[in-house]
Structure 1
Amino acid sequence: MRRVVLVRLIVVLGLLVAASPQATAALVDSGQQGATSAGNATLDGNATGGPDRHPRLVGVYPNPVAADDAGEFVVLDAPAGTRLGTYRLADDETAVALPNATVGGRVVLTPVPERTRRLVDDRIVAVDALPRLANAGEPLRLSRDGAVVDALGYRDAPEGELYVRRVGRFRPLGATDRPVVASGPANATAFLLPDAPEVPTRVLAGAEERILLAGYTFTSDRVADELVRAHRRGVRVAVLVEGDPVGGTTTAQARALDRLVAAGIAVRAVDGPRARYAYHHAKYAVADDRALVLTENWKPSGAGGRSSRGWGVVVRDARTAAALAETFRADAGWLDARPWGTVRRNLTLVNESVAAGDYPRRIEPERLRVERVRVLAAPDNAERALRGVLGNATRSIDVVQVSLGGPDGPLAGAAIAAARRGVRVRVLLSGAWYVREENAALAERLNALADEEGIPLSARLADPRGRFEKVHAKGVVVDDRLAVVGSLNWNAHAARENREVALVLEGEAVGGYYARAFEADWHASASGDGREPRVPIGLLAGIAAAAAATAALGRRIEFEEGGGSDRY
């Protein structure tokens, strides 16, 4: 499913958001190790036959997006020189002989090779038939001379997902398994929004060979101008956006993307039954060998500097740019990335007001040296890497987020665990109308936890004080010498279901820049007496009443998990 349904009701006191948890498939395996998927369902890793060097079952695709489940397949990892014809594949009802073929490495067994070939990169081996792969699950056994040499079991196969033995769960077919890519030292430009909206357009204006721009939404005329100019001067330009954003595609986005296509620019939108991720939520651009990563959308309120507090960075490093380019190619090259014209034909457009705020320039961009850069991608590696970042903090963690999705999430939990071992943790949350009540309750809960346990943890709602309209940044500063900048909201859905991109930037200069930015917004949001802002008990009672009223009315509005932060 591409949508997370949240329950909402606008009441006099504000807006309550209640996120529904995501169910995951229950999986059963024989416990042996195998391989995982990468790129277009490539299963990488070395062949790892058992003691007798037999093939191993490493993947199964039981529930294709097709009538009658046409296109099922099984993936084997075979030692070099394996004679498949000596093996049989069976479930509890049927056993089939494998074809007479000599293979080695990853092979995909399928009775419909013409259908499967465009879904995988591994060698295709046509078979007359496979055991009927039940969607509800069943055991599979590989045997030779009547003896079982390997077995694999699965349960509850989601449509269009591949069971990957090494990770022990189903993953969307074609989902990547990107590693964390590290590089550095490198030169960089750190900047804030709305203070320095000229930085993103300046990066695009300087491109000579390529621009790969990935976003959730795209409505910026200024950015569109630069892309068209780049295309006309011979730069290869490609754009990838979410095809079905929360709240719908706006008329402004349709106009902007129509203009790019009319100019000859390749524009694709991620949508449809083959979608591997809940949302394509990443916000970055590759311009030649420069990597531009934002917390903001490509729209006037974000990259245009007309509304949101955001963080951004430009890293001049070929390896970092190459890692982002590879992610772009993997996302734009799969079946769910369809030409904009095809997606547009089926859309019902919605109107949206355009942000037109004017804010002072308080914090200037800085050119600085970054000692080390790490490129993170969700759902591939970002959660694990960020938990490691928080787990290694020794003095301080400063978090700015639209919302946390609750204190029990994996990243919020890691930050609280750091506070319990003595690390000072501060959390600055958005006070925007659409998350204000949720965040007020969460801040009160975190501050109460700090009081109860005596730990150095505090939370505030951001007060813009005329410097911006709302917080939309998703950033972290650790020990004043490491900063994380990117699209990742701090909730399990974003980390595990969305395509997200973030950079981990290490060094005193870059850490100090974002630490000063956080400090300015933190102190501006303090209560008049300098103490932590507290939420009145009456407000919390109002929130509880709103929740009861919402449940009674059952009003359902589709919103992105974690407060629907990118709708505004």
Structure 2
Amino acid sequence: MSIYSSLSVDGPLVVISEFYPCGVNYDEYIVLWNRGSEEVILSYWTLSDGEGVLLFTTLVHILAGDEVHISSNYDSYFDAFGVPPEITVQGWNTNDLVTVSGSFRLADIGDSLVLRSPEGGVVDSVCYGDSGIPEGWFGSPMPALRQGEVAKRVLMGGIPVDSDVSTDWMSFREYRYGYTEHNTISDKIPAGGITSFASPDCSLEVVLEAVQSAKTTIRVCAYELYSAPFCEALACISKSGVDVRILVDLNPAGGICDEEIDCLSFLSTSGCSVLGIHGNLDDDIVRHIGPLHPKYMVIDEVSILVMSENFVPDGIPEDPVHGNRGWGVWIESGLLAGCLAHVFDDDARRSRDDVIAWTSTEWFDSDAGAFEPPRPVYLSGALRPYRSTQACTVRLHVSPDASIQSPFLVPLLESSRRIMFEQFQSDINWNTRWSSEATTNPLLTAIIDALRNGGQSRGILDSSWFNLDRNNATVAGLSCIAVSEDLDGSFLLMDERSPITILHNKGLILDDRTTVISSNNWVYSSFARNRELAAIVDSEEMASYFADAFHMDWFPDDIPPIAIAGPDIDAREGDVVTLDASESSDDRAIVLIWWDFNGDGLADSYGPRIDYAVTAPGEHLVTVHVVDTWGNDASDTMIVRVSGSGVALTAPIMTPCARPPTWILPLALIPVILVLRRLSIRKLNLGKGGS
């Protein structure tokens, strides 16, 4: 036991709070923390690894509650963390502050550290991997660390835990060289300060409006980015003088596609700053985070846009009916924007070894051309953007920083009585960094606990083939417990008849008041390793908006549209008449309107309003067919009475909707195309929590 272990925290209790033994550039470092209430002068204190000793001089001291970072490589430490270490012992060689004897260097496979007072007593010790047990340590060593991994002591109440056992060091969160520690930030948002939106219904509309609102600077953080209209909008504002900064992940699951290569190259040649997070230990590069997985923008440091969807065609689709299901919010807050800008700038800091300019990569194509402008569509989604009318509170949780000992969502779920969620990817069991055996997903455990306390839960998970095994196991596991214990929980996979391509959402609605808009998949790495972002909005009206979106996915649409062909028309030979079915409606959204003039059941024209020149006298029966997003069909008829001589209705005069838009397909092909869209997804996430 340490000689100070019996003292209260008010005593001069110094501990080894952090160390980095498996560096790639001879850049080990160690941190000492003064847990006491008085300054500690480390005169003649020693730190030993069993083969070498660091002897501190009178110039080294630690203020009460403060820590001292001791690095063997000043440049590497400064580049990784953006601040200098308090003490540098370059190459673990003697200098004015520290005298080094023996061969001091931490072994990758295992070693020990012992901190001693001037009298020789053990103040603190730690061991890991294949190491002997040093004096003052109890039980087995902590597991060996991986290359690039930092060992950091668990904190309790902001103070390092010191019981001299391995669990003192086993945080849920994983730490890597150059890690960050961003706090959770909240702000009170006034009425009108939040716009909520859903994909595919209206996400592109809101995203483009946010881009076009930028006056000075816009930061875009993306896992994937190759939406043509989005790229065109960024290039346009860049050419107008806006400082456009983009940070993307250069190692997405499945690799970078050709469309993204063209997009990022085009943006680079258009004046945008495009940086990427990359890293390969074989090249001696340590990524300071796992996958860069958030999807957000910071506009002029006055507003932020946070969503679950990538900046790709299915994430922010031009077609407001077919695409991925996702949620998003555009929030006006200088405080949140400033904090999120700091997160972006820290991740994108050029001194980091894992940050590289796109123009320096092998993929950069200086000849990449501009994109075609978005094609017009007349369809509208079932959901429109909604602007808040009441004040509310928003909190931002940055992962993995927000999940030190457990996923930040766990206490929210445990305290809720009513839970609705949509989730792209969920593992029923997690293999955490320090566990030798799989443990139950703590988010699912929290949901079951809430149900056992009398709560209610409804959940939908993605049914894409590449998620089917893991998500089906989650649905089956939750459902089995709910049924066997008579709990009020219902869970299902996304209905494959839905027009939604992929349920890519990671959203929650808690107690009809709190909405979570997040990039966090329910897998271990998403909370412990990846860079993610969640906006938690405390607002009943915002929760109501997203509850409507949830219910559209929860309840299949078996209700056909109401087709209204319009009133009968009297015309003379040669007149131009307008057939108007614009009064037709649906409980969700209409995807197709087509007209049959001769009763053969085939489409003769498309669109809600059609102009015709008529030349055939007599009564002509016209049928309009209206199709909704789930393929439900309804029809209505009207009569065109034509006086005069002639033989037939002519082809329609060309109007904007007289021919089928290029994206409209024959009705019989709609179900087939929806299946093919699911099977043609370019990027598959096979366990990294990266989509």
Give your verdict on TM over 0.5.
yes
Distance in 1, matches of 2:396 and 2:23, equals 32
Tell whether the 8 Å contact from 1:404 to 1:562 is kept in structure 2 after alignment.
Answer: no
Moved more, 94-103 or 501-510: 94-103
Instruction: Give the 5 Å matches for 1:162-561.
Output: 162-167=150-155, 168-169=169-170, 171-186=175-190, 187-196=193-202, 197-272=204-279, 273-288=285-300, 289-306=302-319, 307-333=323-349, 334-344=352-362, 360-368=380-388, 369-382=390-403, 384-394=407-417, 396-406=418-428, 408-463=440-495, 465=497, 467-524=499-556, 560-561=685-686
The correspondence for 2:59, drawn from 101, 108, 123, is: 101
Give the letter for the 1:411 counterpart.
Answer: L
1:125 maps to which residue? 88
Larger mean CA deviation between 201-210 and 100-109 belongs to 100-109
Deviation at 1:103, TM superposition (A): 4.0
How far is the alpha carbon of 1:327 from its aligned partner?
1.5
Structure-1 separation of matches of 2:517 and 2:180: 21
CA deviations over 1:79-109 (Å, ceiling 9, x no partner): 9875544222212333232355344454333
Report the Cα distance in structure 2 between the residues aligned to 1:109 and 1:177, rounded to whole angstroms. Answer: 19
| 1:537 equivalent in structure 2 | none
- Percent identity at matched positions? 26
**Are residues 563 and 82 of structure 1, via their aligned partners in 2, closer, same or farther at CA, if it must alter by over 3 Å?**
closer
Q: How far apart in 1 are the matches of 2:380 and 2:493?
A: 21
- In structure 2, relative to structure 1, the CA distance for the partners of 1:493 and 1:315 (3 Å cut) is same
Distance apart, 1:237 and its partner CA: 1.5
Q: Please give the per-residue CA displacement for 1:396-448, whole angstroms capped at 9, x wherever unaligned.
A: 10010113212631212211221121211111111223223543444234323
Distance in 1 (CA, whole Å) between partners of 2:690 and 2:453 is: 31
Paired with 1:108 and 1:346, the residues of 2 have a C-alpha distance of: 39
Q: Where does residue 539 of structure 1 map in the other structure?
A: none
Change (3 A) 1:57 1:238: same
**Counterpart secondary structure, 2:288:** coil
User: CA separation of 1:131/1:151 partners in 2, compared to 1, >3 Å: closer, same or farther?
Assistant: farther
Contact 1:370–1:506, Cα closer than 8 Å, also in 2: no
Conserved? CA contact 2:274–2:357, under 8 Å: yes
**CA displacement, residues 5-52 of structure 1 (integer Å, 9 cap, x when unaligned):** xxxxxxxxxxxxxxxxxxxxxxxx97999xxxxxxxxxxxxxx99766
TM-fit CA distance, 1:205:
0.6
Distance 1:370 1:386 in 2: 23
- In 2, the alpha carbon distance for the partners of 1:51 and 1:483 equals 42
Aligned partner of 2:22: which letter? N
Structure scoring higher RCO (CA < 8 A, sep ≥ 6) equals 1
In the TM superposition, residue 525 of structure 1 has moved relative to its aligned partner by 7.3
Which residue type is aligned with residue 24 of structure 2? V
Quick check: 2:413–2:419 contact (8 Å CA) kept in 1? Answer: yes
Distance 1:60 1:372 in 2: 38
Q: Deviations over 1:352-396 (max 9, x none)?
A: xxx9998751011100135110101111115543112111212x1
Matches for 1:42-53 after TM superposition, within 5 Å: 53=12
Relative distance call for 1:418 and 1:370 in structure 2 (3 A) is: farther
Aligned residues: 486
SS in 1 for 2:175: strand
Q: Is the 2:289–2:530 Cα contact (8 Å) retained in structure 1?
A: yes
**Structure 1 CA distance for aligned equivalents of residues 250 and 551 of structure 2:** 37
**Residues 6-155 of structure 1: matches in 2 within 5 Å?**
53=12, 55-66=14-25, 70-77=26-33, 83-99=41-57, 101-104=59-62, 105-120=66-81, 121=83, 122-126=85-89, 127-128=93-94, 129=100, 131-148=104-121, 150-155=123-128
Q: Which amino acid aligns with 2:354?
A: D
* Cα distance between partner residues in 2 of 1:469 and 1:85: 66
Residues 114-123 or 404-413, more deviating: 114-123
Q: Which amino acid is 1:276 matched to?
A: H
Q: 1:492 to 1:308 in 2, by over 3 A?
A: same
- Alpha-carbon contact 1:244-1:271 (below 8 Å) kept: yes
Taking structure 1 as reference, are residues 454 and 361 closer, same or farther at Cα in structure 2, changes over 3 Å only?
A: same
CA contact (8 A) 1:483 1:506 kept: yes
- CA change 1:526–1:405 in 2 (3 A) is farther
Query: What is the rounded CA distance, in whole Å, between the counterparts of 2:126 and 2:445 in structure 1?
Result: 33
Looking at structure 1, the residues matched to 488 and 376 of structure 2 have their Cα atoms a distance apart, in angstroms, of 36
Partner residue, 1:552: none
Q: CA contact under 8 A between 1:87 and 1:145: conserved in structure 2?
A: yes
Mapped to 1, the partners of 2:8 and 2:44 lie a distance apart of: 15
Looking at structure 2, the residues matched to 526 and 179 of structure 1 have their Cα atoms a distance apart, in angstroms, of: 46
CA distance in 2, matches of 1:384, 1:401: 15
Q: Please report how far the alpha carbon of residue 564 of structure 1 lies from its aligned counterpart in structure 2 after TM superposition.
A: 6.5
**Structure 2: gaps of 5 or more residues:** 95-99, 129-143, 156-168, 280-284, 366-373, 430-439, 560-682
Structure 1 CA distance, aligned partners of 2:3 and 2:414? 29
What is the CA–CA distance in structure 2 between the aligned matches of 1:340 and 1:148, rounded to whole Å? 54
| AA of the residue aligned to 2:421 | V
User: d(CA) in 1 for partners of 2:496 and 2:304?
Assistant: 29
Closer, same or farther: CA 292–123 of 1 in aligned 2, 3 Å: same
Q: Contact conserved, 1:398 with 1:426, CA < 8 A, in 2?
A: yes
Cα distance in 1 for residues equivalent to 2:238 and 2:2: 53
For 1:88 and 1:260, how far apart are their aligned partners in 2? 54
For structure 1, the residue ranges without an aligned partner over 5 or more in a row are: 1-28, 34-47, 348-354, 528-557
Change (3 A) 1:95 1:415: same
Per-residue displacement from partner, 1:293-329 (whole Å, max 9, x unpaired)?
1110011110235511111110111122122212112
* Amino acid across the alignment from 1:222: P
Deviations 1:193-213 (A, max 9, x none): 111021011101101121111
Distance change (3 Å), C-alpha of 1:189 and 1:117: closer
